[in-house]
């Protein structure tokens, strides 16, 4: 029966505690970005995506809205908007789930086991069905082009105001992010 706002705080905390880089905008918790690494032993390995998380007022009763900010070639992710078609995040969401589930389980599973039968990106699905090798090739090309590690990925001015709020607990070990650049 925690108040929704407290659940929000707790969930974000859990993410940070699990070494996820969380990028808030002016300390707001209604929407923020999380860095997501493609799972090992998948064609997405090595790719790093910025994932936008929007927590509705009714969170956790209402599901968060999740979208890839940089491009990804995947049957269940809309190439244009980055939105994801995944039942656990949409239709079968339960308040028992939290953000950590999304980043530890749901998204890695989605990338490991794409479902070409319910495609949002028809081209990707069709390619996966017809020619898995070409599909994986294209996935890797996309990773190379759009999802290289974050340091290089931060480019234009629009990121300046957010990067100051970045935080990463793992900064001492993997040294990727977290340095404020005022």
Partner 1 sequence: MISRKRVVEAEIDQDQAAAVADETLHKRTREDLLISSAVAEETSVMEVDNSQVNGMQIDADGSKPDDIDEDLHSRQLAVYGRETMRRLFASNVLVSGLQGLGAEIAKNLVLAGVRSITLHDEGNVEMWDLSSNFFFSEEDIGKNKALACVLKLQELNNAVVVTTLTGNLSKEKLSSFQAVVFTDVSIEKALDYNDYCHNHQPPISFIKCEVRGLFGGVFCDFGPEFTVSDVDGEEPHTGIIASISNDNPAMVTCVEDERLEFQDGDLIVFSEVEGMTELNDGKPRKIKSARPYSFTLEEDTTNFGAYKKGGIVTQLKEPKILKFKPLKDALRDPGEFLLSDFSKFDRPPLLHLAFQALDRFRHEMGRFPLAGSEEDAQQMIAFAINLNESMGDQKLEEFDRKILRYFSYGSRATLNPMAAIFGGIVGQEVVKACSGKFHPLFQFFYFDSLESLPVEPLEPSYFKPLNHRYDAQISVFGSKLQKKLEDAKIFIVGSGALGCEFLKNLALMGVCCSPEGKLTITDDDVIEKSNLSRQFLFRDWNIGQAKSTVAATAASLINPKLHIEALQNRASPETENVFDDAFWESLDTVINALDNVTARMYIDGRCLYFQKPLLESGTLGAKCNTQMVIPHLTENYGASRDPPEKQAPMCTVHSFPHNIDHCLTWARSEFDGLLEKTPNEVNTFLSNPDVYASSMRNAGDAQARDLLERVLECLDKDRCESFQDCVSWARLRFEDYFSNRMKQLTFTFPEDAVTSSGAPFWSAPKRFPRPLLFSASDPSHIQFIMAASILRAETFAIPVPDWARYPKKIADAVNKVIVLEFQPKTDVNIVTDAKATSLSTASIDDSAVINDLITKLEECSKKLPTEFRMNPIQFEKDDDTNYHMDFIAGLANMRARNYSIPEVDKLKAKFIAGRIIPAIATSTAMATGFVCLELYKALSGGHTVEDYRNTFANLALPLFSIAEPVLPKTIKYRDMSWTVWDRWIIKGDFTLRQLLQWLRDKGLSAYSISSGTSLLYNSMFPRHKDRMDRKVVDLVKEVAKVEIPAYRRHIDVVVACEDEENGEDVDIPLVSIYFC
Q: How far apart are CA 135 and CA 39, in angstroms?
A: 17
By CB under 8 A, tell whether 148 contacts partner 1. Answer: no
Nearer to partner 1, 58 or 151 (CB): 58
Task: Considering only the stretches 37-45, 102-110, 152-160, report the one whose residues sit in contact with partner 1 under the rule CB under 8 A.
Answer: 152-160
Q: How far apart are CA 97 and CA 51, in angstroms?
A: 18
Active site residue 85: yes
CB 91, min distance to partner 1, A: 6
Token pair belonging to 182: 């005022």
Output the CA torsion 100→80→150→166 (10° steps). Answer: -60
By CB under 8 A, tell whether 6 contacts partner 1. Answer: yes
Token pair belonging to 75: 């049957």
Binding mask 46-65 for partner 1 (x = CB under 8 A): ---------x-xx--xxx--
Q: Which residues of 84-116 are buried (b: 16+ CB within 10 A; e: fewer)?
A: bbbebbeeebeeebbbbbbbeebbbebbeebbb
Number of residues that bind partner 1 (CB under 8 A): 66
Do 90 and 63 form a contact (C-beta atoms < 8 A)?
Answer: yes
Among positions 72-131, residues that touch partner 1 (CB under 8 A) are 76, 78-83, 85, 87, 90-91, 93, 116-120, 122-123, 125-127, 129-131
Q: How far apart are CA 71 and CA 77, in angstroms?
A: 9
- Which position among 85, 110, 128, 143 bears the catalytic label? 85
By CB under 8 A, tell whether 16 contacts partner 1. Answer: yes
**Residue 177 CB neighbours (<10 A):** 19
The residues of the shown chain that bind partner 1, judged by CB under 8 A, are 1-3, 5-6, 8-10, 12-13, 16-17, 24, 26-30, 55, 57-58, 61-63, 69-71, 76, 78-83, 85, 87, 90-91, 93, 116-120, 122-123, 125-127, 129-132, 134, 137-138, 141-142, 145, 156-158, 167, 169, 178, 180
């Amino acid at each position: 029966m925690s108040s929704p706002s407290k659940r929000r705080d707790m969930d974000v905390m859990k993410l940070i505690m699990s070494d996820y880089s969380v990028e808030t905008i002016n300390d707001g918790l209604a929407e923020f970005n999380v860095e997501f690494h493609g799972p090992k032993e998948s064609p997405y390995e090595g790719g790093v995506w910025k994932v936008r998380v929007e927590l509705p007022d009714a969170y956790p009763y209402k599901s968060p809205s999740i979208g890839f900010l940089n491009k990804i070639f995947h049957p269940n992710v809309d190439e244009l908007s980055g939105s994801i078609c995944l039942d656990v995040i949409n239709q079968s969401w339960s308040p028992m789930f939290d953000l950590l589930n999304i980043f530890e389980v749901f998204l890695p599973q989605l990338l490991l086991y794409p479902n070409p039968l319910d495609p949002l990106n028809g081209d990707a699905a069709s390619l996966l069905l017809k020619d898995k090798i070409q599909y994986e090739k294209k996935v890797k090309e996309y990773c190379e082009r759009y999802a290289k590690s974050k340091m290089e990925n931060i480019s234009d001015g629009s990121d300046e105001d957010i990067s100051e709020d970045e935080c990463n607990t793992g900064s001492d070990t993997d040294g990727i992010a977290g340095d404020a650049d005022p």
